[in-house]
Chains A and B, each alone.
Chain A
Amino acid sequence: MKSSIVIILFFAAGIISGLLMNGSDLSIGSGMSDYALHFLLFLIGISIGSDLKVFKIIKKLHFKVLLVPVSVIIGTLAGVAAVSSLISDVTLNECLAVGSGFGYYSLSSIYITELRGESLGVIALLSNIIREVITLIAAPVMLAVFGKLAPIAAGGATSMDTTLPIITRYSGKDYAVISIFSGTVLTVLVPFMVTMFL
């Protein structure tokens, strides 16, 4: 729990710095986060490569691994459909399209902006960023309540990259391979599912 608070503080400090720097050269921030992301993935790679029992695990898991991305799709669509009536000016299909970003905010918001205009595009961008942030912040809580697949499910498409470090940290190294698998399947599906609903 202490680590989550530290994470929130760093995220908040980032927002404040971003606001203060607003209008100046923005490429610094995204460039640095790219470096940080690649470095993280490199570290995750080391922890997987130094402990090869994960490959034995995925052989043992066989078809069960497919159930993880399937449960994310069903759960996400059911969730957003359930609240769609609470959201004014946004149709059920538009809500389903936003949900189908599965956290992959850059791609889904571009598609949605093109197909339905800027305001739904911004909702898609924010909603999918928030999904990623919720996963990063609340992973230990989800783990305690819903089990070890929960942080992977919450991460959606991001479970293969940005949220993978935190998933590995809480669900354990054994789940890193499942996480990468689920995130990869969902990432590939995002463009198809978003356009299917719009």
Chain B
Amino acid sequence: MNSVLIALILGGLTGFLVKQRKAILKHLDRITFYSVLALLFFLGFSVGANDVIVKNLHSLGLKALTLSIAAVLGSVSASWIVYRFFFKSRE
């Protein structure tokens, strides 16, 4: 099984066991945010340290960026329709 899923399931079990201990859960959001910062730093590191990416950044980067923006805009627009008609009302 995927090790990422295992980490998630272990966390889930831990959360179930500590759910009465509000003192632990209070800090969860802040620790999560710090972990996001660490992850982004390391993601940046692997981009900067990868020769293939760095050397091709100029010629291929613009094409990649165009496709990324188009893909994201298309996705969020489609999701807005689904959200508007199927999800929003239950809140």
Contacts and interface: CB of A to CB of B under 8 A. Distances in A.
A1 B10 CA distance: 32
Contact of A26 (B19, B44, B46): B46
Given A7-B36, A150-B80, A64 B71 contact: no
A110 interface: no
B23 interface: no
Interface in A49-99: 49-52, 60, 64, 67-68, 71-72, 74-80, 82-83, 86-87, 90, 95, 98-99
Given A15-B44, A67-B86, A80-B67, A169 B74 contact: no
Chain B at the A interface: SS class? helix
B1 interface: no
B75 A39 contact: no
Contacts, number: 298
A180 B4 CA distance: 12
Interface residues of B, number: 71
Interface residues of A, number: 96
Nearest to A136: B40
Interface of B: 3-4, 7-19, 25, 28-29, 31-33, 35-54, 56-57, 60-61, 63-84, 86-88, 90
19 contacts: A18-B48, A29-B42, A40-B39, A42-B10, A43-B35, A44-B11, A46-B15, A64-B86, A68-B82, A83-B66, A83-B70, A87-B63, A126-B60, A136-B40, A145-B76, A149-B82, A149-B83, A154-B72, A165-B33
Interface of A: 3, 6-7, 10-22, 26, 29-30, 32-33, 36-52, 60, 64, 67-68, 71-72, 74-80, 82-83, 86-87, 90, 95, 98-99, 118-119, 122-136, 138, 142, 145-150, 152-154, 156, 160-162, 165-166, 168-169, 180
